[in-house]
Chain A
C-alpha cells in the first residue's frame, strides 16, 4: 500500500531530523582553535587590570569559582608565574563567574600571584568557547594559540605546561 510506505517514510524522516537537530546546532560553533590568533582581551570589557601581554608567552585560563579543578590549578599557575615570569611569561586567568561576589570571595581566599579578570557577561567565553572548565590557551609571543588544555589533571598538566612554556619562551 503506497500511503503506508509514505507514512513510514515521513516517520523515519522526522525521527532522523529530531535525532540530528541538536548535534547540527552545536557543531556550528566557532571557538578558537590551535594556530589561530587569540582575540584581543582589551575588547571584551573585562573587569580588572590586564597585564602587558605584547611579545610575551601568555596563558589565558578560563575558570570559575564553582569549578573544583580550577581551584587546584591556581597553585600551579602561581608556581609557573614564579618560574617563568621573569623570562617573559604571563598568566591571565579569566573568570566566567556570573556572580561578581563569588569571584571576589574566591580571590580573597586564594590570593593568586597572577592577573585575574572577570568576564561577567561571558562575551569572551562565548567567542573563544572553552571546551570545559578549566580550559587554558597557551599563546606564543606572536599572539597565536599554540596549545589548548581542556581540564586540569594535576601533575600531568603541570608537566605539559612546563615543557610547552619553556619551548615557547625559547622561540623569538
Chain B
C-alpha cells in the first residue's frame, strides 16, 4: 500500500509550533556565547605579532606585484595602511 506523504496532503497538519520559543532562543544564545572566543592581546604579549614574518610588506617584490595588481585591476587603489607589523607600539 502506498501512503501519501503528509507534505503533499493538503489536509496535513502544519508542524506544531515550538513549545517555548523564548527558551529555545536563550539556549541558542548561550550556546553561541560559548563559541565567541575574542580576547584582547595585551601590549606586553605581542612578541609574535611584532615578528618580521608578520609584516605584510616583508617581501618587496611581492609587495610591488600586489600593488601593481590593485593599480591595474581595481579602481580602488591606495590606502593600504602603514607599514610595520602587529606590535601596536606607541
Contact = CB atoms under 8 A, between A and B. Distances in A.
Nearest to A135: B43
Interface size class of B (residues with CB under 8 A): 20 to 34
Given A67-B89, A152-B90, A133 B21 contact: no
Interface in B9-26: 21-22, 25-26
Interface string B19-41: 00110011001001100101010
B45 interface: yes
Contacts of B21: 3, 6-7
B33 A134 contact: no
A112 to B, nearest CB: 18
Nearest to B51: A66
B43 A130 contact: yes
Most buried by A among B21, B87, B90: B90
B22 A6 contact: yes
Given A3-B21, A122-B45, A18 B36 contact: yes
A133 B43 contact: yes
Interface string A1-28: 0010011001101100110011001100
A64 interface: yes
B90 A125 contact: no
A18 B31 CA distance: 12
Contacts of A68: 84, 87, 89
Contacts of B42: 125-126, 129
A10 B89 contact: no
A14 B36 CA distance: 12
Interface of B: 21-22, 25-26, 29, 32-33, 36, 38, 40, 42-47, 50-51, 84, 87-90
Question: Which 3 A-B residue pairs are closest in the complex by CB-CB distance?
Answer: A151-B90, A96-B44, A66-B50
